[in-house]
Structure 1
Amino acid sequence: MDKGWATNFVSAGLVGASYSIDGIASEVLRSAGLFALSGAVTNQLAIHMLFEKVPYLYGSGIIIDRFESIREALKTLIMEQFFTPEKIESFVQSQERTIDLTPIIEQTDFTPAYNALVRSVMDSPLGGMLGMFGGEAIIGKLKEPFLEKIKLSTIEISQSESFMSALNTHLHQGSSHLTETIESIVVSRLAELTPIMIKEMLHTLMKEHLGWLVVWGGVFGGMIGIVSVFLL
């Protein structure tokens, strides 16, 4: 059973039980039960009004009524807390020294570069002379050593100070564009949300904790009820 309704039943049970006994105990039990039931029901109604529109009750259904404001607040929260230009810049700086293109270069097929080299050689005056000695077949023996050398050279270039400096400069220049891109993605995704989706999302997130509001409303209401018996 839902903890909120369980609190209501326990509170009502205390009121019912108070009529089976006499004296001050009856008054304490009845007052505690009534105040507890009042607190629990009031909190339960307030929670219901938060998500659902109740006729003639002004302010109910605020999540649906304030849907646009909530959606804008979500966008502001995401952009200001997670994707500020400063935080993106800080992330880029933290990644500067960890960029390693070696794995990518190792898996890259440099055969097109070799083929372009062969075409250049064969189209040059040297190509005619090589044709007398077997043409491309002679150059073909150099393919594997060439591919290995060009990979090593490319890795060396990617690790050079000048290359890393140029790459990091480009990343810094692109951080502002990255912020704009992220914001456009957030805005487009939030635009897909409907009032019902927002309501269900918030209700799912808060359901467990909202139930405890009813329980504590009953507990504190009961305590106030007991105190009131001795004060009046």
Structure 2
Amino acid sequence: MEDPAAVRSNAKGLLLDANNDDEIHMESTEMILIETTNESNTDRTQSKIPFRQRVEGLYKNYCGVAEWGNFITLVIMILGIILVEIFKHIHPKVYYQIFRIIRAIGVFGLSGGITNWLAVKMLFDKIPGLIGSGVIRNQFIEIRNCVKMVVLDTFFEPSSMMEYLNGKQDDWLQQLDIDSKIDGVLKSQAADEIVDKQLSLMMSRPEGMMLSFMGMSVNVLKPTILPFIHGLGPTVSSVLSKNIQTSEFINPENIRKQVDELLSVKLEEMTATRVKALVEHMIRKHLGWLVVWGNVFGALIGIICEVSSVFK
């Protein structure tokens, strides 16, 4: 007879194993469903892209000037090889020499274009086995720091900022319209209440009591004082405009420091992929001409080599 406690323990273990298997199975099923859903969503998204837009995207990515340059030189190379083989034993030999030059144009032009195309490719993408490829991806941190320093040194150099701010000071003061603002403050209800308060305080002092003996009161003095206060507006604004210095309330070093912090935070979000995409968007379409010029100069070198071999 087996121990009932052992039987219960074994049964409990079997139940736990079964539950674990069910959980693992459910998790794997959920993962498969999620992956299937993602794939179906991707397929659905791609299926929504119009056919014309797909064709335009393919043309834009694979039919640039670089691809056309390599394709043309490839056609010339194939044509030259075929014609050389056809006219190898046919007289006069002048056609054979011409077709050899055509073949050289294609071979050297294609080699120059392919070399430059590979150099452009290595600039942006990591190619296994080729040391130095993927420069932008590998050096994206240095590129980020370089961008930050260029922005700071070009646009936020302290002396240049101070010169710019001082030059804009008059325009800013004019836009602020200090005259009307000071005039509005002096004629406001708040200024009127301040005058009442100050006159009341003055009347409570000995000099105010003397004025009271002379028949003066707050209501008598106020109409006399208010026009004088209101007339101070233009004078105060003129003095204020002459004595305001931009450097007193704007520090270029603080602005530069804040911009530096902002750029540092934003550039931390720039991953290697985003830096590569940014640089690629700016210059890759222009680098296609580098491939074309590789085709051209390669073709010229081919002509020179073939012509020089003919006249040996």
TM tier relative to shorter chain:
0.7 to 0.9
Residues of 2 paired with 1:70 and 1:180: CA distance?
A: 20
1:80-159 equivalence runs, <5 A: 80-101=153-174, 103-105=176-178, 106=180, 110=185, 113-118=188-193, 121=196, 124=200, 153-154=232-233, 156-159=235-238
Q: Is the 8 A contact 1:28 1:226 kept in 2?
A: yes
Shift of 1:120: 5.5
Residues of 1 paired with 2:124 and 2:99: CA distance?
A: 38
- Pick the aligned partner of 1:75 from 118, 123, 148: 148
**Correspondence for 2:83:** 20
Instruction: Compute the RMSD of aligned alpha carbons.
Output: 3.2
**Correspondence for 1:132:** none
Q: Is the 8 A contact 1:88 1:179 kept in 2?
A: no
Q: Is the 8 A contact 2:69 2:291 kept in 1?
A: yes
Residues of 2 paired with 1:176 and 1:2: CA distance?
A: 46
Shift of 1:88: 1.0
**Correspondence for 1:8:** 70
Q: Helix, strand or coil for the counterpart of 1:159?
A: helix
TM-score, normalisation: structure 2: 0.60
User: Which structure 1 residue ranges, 5 or more long, are not aligned?
Assistant: 127-135
- Pick the aligned partner of 2:242 from 164, 174, 183: 164
Q: Is the 8 A contact 1:52 1:61 kept in 2?
A: yes
**Correspondence for 1:228:** 305
Write the letter of the residue equivalent to 2:190.
N
Write the letter of the residue equivalent to 2:149.
T
**Correspondence for 1:203:** 280
Residues of 2 paired with 1:96 and 1:102: CA distance?
A: 10
**Correspondence for 1:53:** 126
Count how many residue pairs are aligned between Structure 1 and Structure 2.
215
Residues of 2 paired with 1:111 and 1:165: CA distance?
A: 20
Write the letter of the residue equivalent to 2:106.
G
Shift of 1:191: 2.2
Residues of 2 paired with 1:154 and 1:191: CA distance?
A: 51
**Correspondence for 2:24:** none
User: Which structure 2 residue ranges, 5 or more long, are not aligned?
Assistant: 1-62, 88-95, 204-218
TM-score, normalisation: structure 1: 0.78
> Highest relative contact order (Cα 8 Å, sep 6+), 1 or 2?
1
C-alpha change, 1:107 and 1:166, in structure 2 (3 Å) is closer
